[in-house]
Structure 1
Amino acid sequence: MQIRLVQGDITEQHVDAVVNAANSSLLGGGGVDGAIHRKGGPDILRECRALRASSLRDGLPTGQAVATTAGRLPASWVIHTVGPVYSAGEERSPLLASCYRESLRLAAELAAETIAFPAVSAGAYGWPLSDAARVAVQAVQESSITLSEVRFVLFDGPTHAAFARAVTEHG
């Protein structure tokens, strides 16, 4: 499985599945979540509302993943996952790793060959960048699911650098 690091906009990635760092409501928000909903259009929100009205009445649990259409994005699916909020007093790394594992599992079920991940929980959820990168890279490398390409799409230079260090250290 090829791991690629790209500095850029996840909504512009031509991959089979784009991962959304969603909130549990699945109804849009800020950051990556807001960008995916805005650029993907109303079809994503429509499917998220349908999920909330049926199987996910209480929202998507942290560490889990669910797929919807990608709407107007240059992908086939959006895989929504809810990352944990960082806590210095509680070990939540397994939940963060689960976001990546569950997204990969779902991508394989959808017969996706390529997937693009953001840095889940490293923004508004406050996860320290170097640790978020370590957990993400390790979870992908240790996964039994192998796609053709796993792409980490990182918004800025410091995030890209943190992931590059994690790939070097854990690769």
Structure 2
Amino acid sequence: MEIVLVQGDITEQRVDAIVNAANSSLLGGGGVDGAIHRKGGPAILAECKELRASRYQRGLPTGQAVATTAGDLPARWVVHTVGPVWSEREDRSALLRGCYTNSLWVADALGATTVAYPLISAGIYGWPIEDAARQALTALREATPSTVSEVRLVLFSAETYAAAERARAAG
């Protein structure tokens, strides 16, 4: 599986599956989550509401992943995952890596060959960008999906792109 770094807007990626850094409600929010819901249109929210009414009445647990349609996005599916909030006192890195691997397994089970990820938890959830990039690359390097051949880590700003480049170079 090839891991590609891209600076850009995740909602414009032409891939099989776009990963959403969702909140546990699955009902939209700010940042990546809000952008995906706005650009993807009402079909995504409708499926998220169905998931909340059935399987995830208490919300999607941190680190887990679930798929919906991609609506009007240039993808087939959106895989929603809830990243952990950064904590100086508690190591939550396994939960963050779980967001990447669990999303990848969901996309793989759907038959996706290309998947685009944002830098999960690095926005409003406060995860330090350098470590968020390192955790993402570590999780993705260690995964061995059967159908996914390309993963894009889509970084919105030059700052996050540079952090991901440094993390990739550090190995």
Q: Equivalents in 2 of 1:75, 1:120: separation in Å?
A: 19
What is the aligned partner in structure 1 of residue 165 from structure 2?
A: 164
1:150 Cα deviation from its structure 2 partner: 0.4
What is the aligned partner in structure 2 of residue 88 from structure 1?
A: 88
Q: Equivalents in 1 of 2:106, 2:65: separation in Å?
A: 7
Q: Tell me how many residue pairs correspond in the alignment.
A: 170
What is the aligned partner in structure 2 of residue 131 from structure 1?
A: 131
Q: Equivalents in 2 of 1:27, 1:10: separation in Å?
A: 18
What is the aligned partner in structure 2 of residue 36 from structure 1?
A: 36
What is the aligned partner in structure 2 of residue 100 from structure 1?
A: 100
Deviation beyond 2 Å, 4+ runs, structure 1: none
Q: Which amino acid aligns with 2:160?
A: T
1:3 Cα deviation from its structure 2 partner: 0.9
1:168 Cα deviation from its structure 2 partner: 1.3
Q: Equivalents in 2 of 1:165, 1:75: separation in Å?
A: 29
Q: Equivalents in 2 of 1:111, 1:137: separation in Å?
A: 22
Gaps of at least 5 residues in structure 1 are none
Gaps of at least 5 residues in structure 2 are none
1:70-108 Cα deviation digits (max 9, x unpaired): 000000000000000000000000000000000010011
Q: Which amino acid aligns with 1:142?
A: E
TM-score (norm 1): 0.98
Two-structure CA RMSD over aligned residues (Å): 0.6
Q: Equivalents in 2 of 1:84, 1:42: separation in Å?
A: 26
